[in-house]
Chain A
């Protein structure tokens, strides 16, 4: 279990007096230079936290847009994976001189195991990465990683299907924030999505003082504002990645999302 650290940069990004915008980007997509530029673009456009996806060949928890971006990123000679992502993250953090939004790496478990849990954690710390999300590592399976991950916030996922016991375990194991999966993946059904997400955030907040961020299926400023009314943060992935090749469209979308999230009317504390 990771103790809550005072001064967690990740947690602080949700504590600026307004809901936070978490923007997901795919590392190495469409290529290294463009994705590094995209990191700066979204940082400048108002992202409070950046979730940086590690390209992986079997992205079980991701939809088609992110899966395709991962495929493109990996297709360069020599591939693009966890080691390359950490190295690129390091370059970004250094360029922002720690004033930029904190970076959270989103990686599947097998690349971590392949590089080695200890080696992965060490390189991430060295790169100035703030945290990590491993979508196929449920809390029960996390002990070996948490044993190596000191200095990094490990964010776990809570789902509408999670029992209260599981939500408690997720909240206890998480650091930085808790990732609330806003729906079971039925995108487009906004009313249902919103109801499920709100109920989940309430269940999470009953268990922890950590920020609760909502993600999955949020693609428009309107939806983002709706989620920001009850969550501490809003995570937008596919809609951003779809524009990752076009810096102007990317900047415009993130600015619009940031305005919607930061200015949302809070319906709960």
Chain B
């Protein structure tokens, strides 16, 4: 795209640049101690991609262990309830362990084994990535430690129990607000100390290069399958594709193939739903793209909730998985490039969408995914009653029963 300051979608999507920048975002801003490990990881990742046996081993696990492809389900009663023509649900909630997270943990743990690491660590917010990592570690015989904020441990007791049952050590992180951002910091800090024998399984499309690219690679199966399934069903290209965005791994997983493979004039509107928490007018939200400004956190440059002195601000969301002050660097690029639109959804809207899906379709979504579902009434108003919308249901809501009960749903 000559004449533009920004690379075209195709240029941007062949890969980030050699330093891991998507436009100005991304990069590697970490202590020197970790830099060699990131280089080693980038080299191992490139080598794995060049080795057909790596892809074959991963594909076999995705099929037989995870249960892929996840169904693309046409939710007619939901569509009627929100006033849309068609709603497609990409059912990542039906994966083994109940969310999209396992796509990435299988890929990264296979990488860890190739690299000769015998121990993996991970951060977790809602606990879905922690459970997926603990599951994969059990499957592959790897030692496993999961860093989790004390507040999240309180909110997600069931997942904590699951991780321990799977043989992982759950390391409580009491610093800060005891949530996801603190868990990422603690995991990175621990990795600095144990970098020689430990692989850090990062759960979202965040962190220093090459993590955003690695996570996108392992999650793009979501969008690739969805495009194929639409074709198989003889369905037309949807008018919009919606996913929730915390760090942004399920969103980049479904968006990326639409950006890479679908020509711009046929491409659906791509919409990321951030957490507006108690409202964007309050300071209780997690809307880094809508309300933040660019800065460095956790080793990468991206939109960030920060104060005047450059300290990260506390994020808030009813959903532990969206309770993060930053966002993946590729999403920052996509926002600035106008390739994806980002909107924010409040706790209340997410709870309403949660209840609506449960009652119209008999599907209990994760409270994270409910933020994406909450975009449906807005899109009905914008696109009209004939429109077709694809929603990534990134996870199931079993883990959220206590939270929604506390919020008064189903009473």
Contact = CB atoms under 8 A, between A and B. Distances in A.
Interface centre among B27, B32, B175, B189, by most chain A C-beta atoms within 10 angstroms, is B32
A263 interface: no
A141 B192 contact: no
B36 A58 contact: no
A234 to B, nearest CB: 19
B29 A109 contact: yes
Given A136-B299, A161-B37, A184-B193, A113 B32 contact: no
Interface in A103-124: 108-115
A138 B28 contact: yes
Q: Is chain B's binding surface mostly helix, strand, loop or mixed?
A: loop
Contact of B31 (A60, A67, A82, A160): A60
Interface stretch (B139-147, B159-167, B308-316): B308-316
A26 interface: no
Interface string B265-305: 00000000000000000000000000000011111000010
A198 interface: no
A61 B175 CA distance: 14
A113 B311 contact: no
A162 interface: yes
A60 B32 contact: no
A141 B30 CA distance: 10
B104 interface: no
Contacts of A135: 31-32
Contacts of B37: 161
B175 to A, nearest CB: 7
Name which of B188, B298, B308 has the most chain A CB atoms within 10 A of its CB.
B308
A118 B29 CA distance: 19
A189 to B, nearest CB: 11
Interface stretch (A32-40, A151-159, A241-249, A254-262): A151-159
A57 interface: yes
Contacts of A157: 31-33
A83 interface: yes
B310 A114 contact: yes
Contacts of A186: 193
A115 B32 contact: no
B194 interface: yes
A138 B306 contact: no
B297 A170 contact: no
A108 B299 CA distance: 11
A79 B37 CA distance: 35
Given A58-B181, A58-B311, A60-B189, A140 B295 contact: no
Interface string B9-45: 0000000000100000001111111011100000000
Nearest to B30: A136
Contacts of A166: 32, 35-36
A154 to B, nearest CB: 13
B196 A156 contact: no
Nearest to A81: B309
Interface residues of B, number: 35
Interface string A67-83: 10000001000010111
A110 B32 contact: no
Contacts of A67: 175
Nearest to A216: B33
B296 A109 contact: yes
A110 B306 contact: yes
B58 interface: no
A207 interface: no
A114 B306 contact: yes
A75 B245 CA distance: 31
A184 B29 contact: no
Contacts of A112: 310
Contact of A181 (B33, B181, B297): B33
Nearest to A139: B32
Nearest to A54: B309
A185 interface: yes
A138 B29 contact: yes
A136 B310 contact: no
B312 A136 contact: no
A137 interface: yes
Interface in A144-185: 156-163, 166, 170, 181, 184-185
A57 B31 CA distance: 16
A112 B196 CA distance: 31
A29 interface: no
B295 A110 contact: yes
A184 B309 contact: no
Nearest to A161: B36
B309 A162 contact: no
Given A156-B32, A157-B31, A185-B193, A56 B311 contact: yes
Contacts of B309: 74, 79, 81-83, 111, 114-115
29 contacts: A57-B307, A60-B189, A60-B298, A74-B311, A79-B308, A79-B309, A109-B296, A110-B297, A110-B304, A110-B311, A111-B310, A112-B310, A135-B31, A136-B299, A138-B29, A138-B30, A140-B19, A159-B31, A159-B33, A159-B35, A161-B196, A162-B35, A163-B36, A166-B35, A181-B31, A184-B193, A185-B33, A185-B193, A186-B193
Interface of A: 56-58, 60-61, 67, 74, 79, 81-83, 108-115, 135-138, 140-141, 156-163, 166, 170, 181, 184-186
Interface of B: 19, 27-33, 35-37, 175-176, 181, 185, 188-189, 192-196, 295-299, 304, 306-312
Top 8 A-B pairs, shortest CB-CB distance: A81-B309, A114-B310, A57-B311, A185-B193, A111-B310, A159-B33, A110-B310, A157-B32
Given A61-B192, A163-B36, A181-B32, 20 more contacts: A57-B176, A57-B311, A58-B185, A60-B188, A82-B309, A83-B309, A110-B295, A110-B304, A111-B311, A136-B29, A136-B31, A136-B296, A136-B299, A138-B31, A138-B32, A141-B27, A162-B35, A162-B36, A166-B36, A170-B32
